[in-house]
Amino acid sequence: MTTKIQKWKNVKNNKIIDSYTTVEQLPILNFPDLLIPQDLMIALKNNLKITNNNRSQNSQKIKNYITCIENLAKINKIQQENYLFLFKILLYLEEFARSTEMKKHNLKCQEIQICSNNIFTIFVPSLNIDDPFVKIEDKIVLKETNSLGRSYNAQIIRICNKNIKVIVPRKFLLKYDSDKKYDINFVYSDWSMKCCHYALYLVNSCDLTSLMYPTIRTNRRYLKSDLNWLNESMKENAEQKQAVINILNRTAYPAPYILFGPPGTGKTATLVELICQIWQQGTSKSVLVCSSSNAAIDEITKRLLIYIPPNEMHRMYSRSKRRSDVDSIIHPCANFVEDTNIFLPKEILLFKKIILTTLVSCTRLLRANIKESHFSFVIIDEASQAIEPETLIPFLLACMKEDENKGLLQAQVVIAGDPCQLGPSIRSKIAEPLLGISMLERLMDCPVYKRDKENKYNPHYVTKLIRNYRSHKCILHVPNKEFYENELIACGGAEINAAIGWSKLPNKKFPLIFHASNGEEKRAENSHRQECIHVYNLQEVSIVMRYLTSLLGKNLGTLQVKQDHIGIVVPFKQQQFKICNELEKRNWKDITVGTVETFQGREKEIIILTTVRSRLFVHNGIEHIGFLSNEKRFNVAITRAKCLLIVIGNPLVLETNNCWRLLVQYCKENEAYIGNTSTFAQISEKEEIHNKLAKRYVPKLHQDYNHIFSLIAIYSVLWTKDQIKP
């Protein structure tokens, strides 16, 4: 392959600096294999039991692992003395869960279609595009069904709906027969886990653990506040101004500064203003901006480009990102030459005042050996959606790793997000209670970031944004009361009142509807693998369609409702499938339909939420509504709407959960409830359900059993045998 060469020019003090770099591909980081310790693997494969098969092996170590894992349920908080050890164990548990889940998606006797040259398309029926179990650059193994022949490795290069495109080796191409069928095995990729393990290693070697448990410092400095605000509207927002000024003055240093941004309160706008202010202060300061998702970083990048020249910024994508999938607005500052993904040499990276990338991709910057003092500020957005070991990676770019200053942080770190919204997605049920708590959520429970006796946050360490520019006050009422201590203030413009007076509103001054439905909850055939995904409710689908007919093309105040004004939130994939089928019949292609996870961070003028459930689950004697009872999921679902929220569901089922009960009662109190309660008499469980309404499930508080982590044998295995070396 011919190496492409691109000349990069960067302006520094009015001088042109030229450099060259190869752009075939990003450099590969060669971490050691991070195999789960053998004794732990045996314990996990045998469901944490000692069996006859492993009794003769190193049974004491296996028993130690089993004891450790069983006691994880008793841990309420991760303490400083067990920080590294616990996260090491949790990562192994998550890795095992992910690899086990991936095997469930393996395909037998499958047709594969050739697209062009050595690229094939494979249909994967279990693929969920909103939460895919594979990603670009993952490997698969192809083998002819019922054949003793060899297997071939292929690489995923594209994911589209329920299809993947793979590039195959030439030898497979020569053997390929379109009349034959093939077995496909998916290979678990542990790249992100390797990065997390590497971060834990550096935290250990740099003695950084204490930094993860910050304390209040008494040293205070004069706060410079005479700023030239680029966003004029920020002058009127006291909380946004407070956050920007205090962060610029590093009032929390060396502790992270937390920007607590509830829905629609201008968190991203605040971060953009902050970055611009740092950039305006001169060439001596550089900023690293990162997040767990590309979408969040892309949004910040696009807004920054309004104020900052693209040659001052560098949007660094991973090796798997395609230029065609990136907004053209970002292209001038992205790491692409034509259609090739590149990695800038260290000399050029140092001239970029703002580098934007994902948390995991920060690992490549670590290996570039950039000086620890290079970044003056490290900003982590949407921090509530990342696991803590992942969030550690950018910290390490600004941390001294040698001499007497080892462990000293050089930058002011900013952690932005909302701990009341959805956290990281965790596959391991054992690890989820601890690994599912983000660094942001954990820190908010530390004394430094808690409210004081006057119920106020210390502004030197945390700012909570309270002015909501997204939603009508009626839509905001329940989440404000339940999650944000009733501090949010509706400050949106005239557009949030667009639905006032709509003919279908029971209360013409109240742009919120609860539509009671007693439709039957059904399950699709062959739904045994992932039961919750295959739940649907056809009556609620029908109600959704009726509302769409009443809305599309009509005027809500000054808003003429178009398809892209509407979002339909569903808790289950099968309900999404049913609704999308109905939309396709009507040629309504621009209405967004997705799960709560799909809508996190997004907003629509109109949200229709179909809850699907018409029966209860019973677990440990407690009746509940499955993962609809997740308070964070509820919060995200009902805070997406700007001017109109329509909730469809079975009130007798939903009211067994406190959050949903508050919403239903709020609608009843304001005459925004549609549906005759008597129509629910046919539900056999009615009386039993009503008897449960007053009962709240309160989980037992766990104690901290620190003594269980004195298992020195396990500790030595984790930090010697499998230690990652830089």
* pLDDT tens per residue across span 306-334: 999 999 999 999 887 888 888 899 999 99
Which of 101, 129, 114 shows the shortest CA–CA distance to 165?
114
Residue corresponding to tokens 């649907």: 536
In this predicted model, which residue has the larger pLDDT, 5 or 597?
A: 597
Q: What is the number of alpha carbons within 13 Å of residue 1 lying toward its C-beta?
A: 8
* pLDDT tens per residue across span 210-227: 999 999 886 666 667 788
As a whole number, mean pLDDT of residues 592-610 equals 94
**How far is Cα 374 from Cα 283, in angstroms, rounded to an integer?**
11
* Residue 436 CB coordination number (10 Å): 17
- Give the pair of three-digit tokens for residue 98: 């992910």
411 in helix, strand or coil? coil
**How far is Cα 327 from Cα 298, in angstroms, rounded to an integer?**
8
pLDDT at res. 676 = 62
**Exposure class string for 16-55: b at 16+ Cβ within 10 A, else e:** eeeeebebeebeeeebeebebbebbebbbeeeeeeeeebe
Given a contact cutoff of 8 angstroms between Cβ atoms, the answer to whether 41 and 722 are in contact is no
391 in helix, strand or coil? helix
173 in helix, strand or coil? helix
Is the confidence at residue 31, as pLDDT, over 80? no
| Angstrom distances, CA of residue 607 to CA of 116, 261, 548, 580, 591 | 42, 21, 11, 15, 10
The residues, ordered by sequence, that sit 6+ positions from 724 with a Cβ below 8 Å of its Cβ are 31, 32, 34, 194, 197, 198, 200, 201
Least trusted range by pLDDT, from 311-315, 429-433, 704-708:
704-708
* pLDDT tens per residue across span 710-723: 443 444 445 444 44
pLDDT at res. 550 = 96
pLDDT at res. 29 = 60
Given a contact cutoff of 8 angstroms between Cβ atoms, the answer to whether 355 and 286 are in contact is yes
Residue type, position 525, single letter:
E
Least trusted range by pLDDT, from 40-49, 138-147, 389-398, 679-688:
679-688
Task: State phi, psi for 717 to the nearest 5 degrees.
Answer: -65, -45
**How far is Cα 547 from Cα 555, in angstroms, rounded to an integer?**
14
* Residue 716 CB coordination number (10 Å): 10
Is the confidence at residue 679, as pLDDT, over 60? no
Give kind and range of the element (H or E) at residue 390.
Answer: helix 388-397
Q: What is the number of alpha carbons within 13 Å of residue 111 lying toward its C-beta?
A: 3
- Range among 54-63, 208-217, 363-372 rated most confident: 208-217
Three-state secondary structure readout of 5-59: EEEEEEEECCEEEEEEEECCCCCCCCCCCCCCCHHHHHHHHCCCCCCHHHHCCCH
Secondary structure letter of residue 35 according to DSSP: P
Is the confidence at residue 703, as pLDDT, over 80? no
Secondary structure letter of residue 36 according to DSSP: P
Give kind and range of the element (H or E) at residue 512.
Answer: strand 512-516
**How far is Cα 263 from Cα 490, in angstroms, rounded to an integer?**
11
**How far is Cα 447 from Cα 525, in angstroms, rounded to an integer?**
51
Domains of the chain plus CATH, in order, are 102-189 (2.40.30.270), 234-302+339-465 (3.40.50.300), 473-524+533-683 (3.40.50.300)
Is the confidence at residue 514, as pLDDT, over 90? yes
pLDDT at res. 55 = 60
Task: State phi, psi for 181 to the nearest 5 degrees.
Answer: -115, 160
From the number of C-beta atoms within 10 Å of its C-beta (0-12, 13-18, 19+), residue 605 rates as buried
Three-state secondary structure readout of 462-493: EEECCEECCCCHHHHHHHHHHHCCCCCEECCC
Is the confidence at residue 682, as pLDDT, over 70? no
**How far is Cα 641 from Cα 263, in angstroms, rounded to an integer?**
10
Mean pLDDT of all residues belonging to the chain: 85
In this predicted model, which residue has the larger pLDDT, 249 or 527?
A: 249
Question: What value does the CA radius of gyration of the chain take, rounded to a whole number of Å?
Answer: 27
Cis peptide before 254 (omega within 30 of 0): yes
| Angstrom distances, CA of residue 275 to CA of 231, 293, 368 | 12, 19, 23
pLDDT at res. 48 = 87
- Give the pair of three-digit tokens for residue 253: 């240093």
pLDDT at res. 90 = 96
Q: What is the number of alpha carbons within 13 Å of residue 435 lying toward its C-beta?
A: 26
- Give the pair of three-digit tokens for residue 47: 């469901």
Least trusted range by pLDDT, from 226-235, 401-410, 449-458, 680-689:
680-689
Q: How confident is the model at residue 687 (pLDDT cuts 50, 70, 90)?
A: very low
Least trusted range by pLDDT, from 13-27, 200-214, 706-720:
13-27
**How far is Cα 149 from Cα 142, in angstroms, rounded to an integer?**
11
* pLDDT tens per residue across span 534-575: 789 999 999 999 999 999 999 998 999 999 999 999 998 899
In this predicted model, which residue has the larger pLDDT, 300 or 227?
A: 300
Which residue pairs from 153-161 have beta carbons closer than 8 angstroms and sit at least 24 positions apart in sequence? Answer: 153/187, 154/120, 157/119, 159/127, 159/129, 159/132, 159/134, 159/135, 160/129, 161/127, 161/129
As a whole number, mean pLDDT of residues 411-422 equals 96
As a whole number, mean pLDDT of residues 237-249 equals 95
For the residues of 521-553, what is the DSSP string, one character each?
PEE-TT-SSSGGGGEE-HHHHHHHHHHHHHHTT
Q: How confident is the model at residue 57 (pLDDT cuts 50, 70, 90)?
A: low
**How far is Cα 450 from Cα 446, in angstroms, rounded to an integer?**
6
Is the confidence at residue 25, as pLDDT, over 80? no
**How far is Cα 268 from Cα 381, in angstroms, rounded to an integer?**
8
pLDDT at res. 623 = 62
**How far is Cα 573 from Cα 610, in angstroms, rounded to an integer?**
12
* pLDDT tens per residue across span 460-511: 999 999 999 999 999 999 999 999 999 999 999 999 999 999 999 999 999 9
Is the model's pTM score more than 0.75?
A: yes
**How far is Cα 494 from Cα 501, in angstroms, rounded to an integer?**
14
Given a contact cutoff of 8 angstroms between Cβ atoms, the answer to whether 40 and 401 are in contact is no
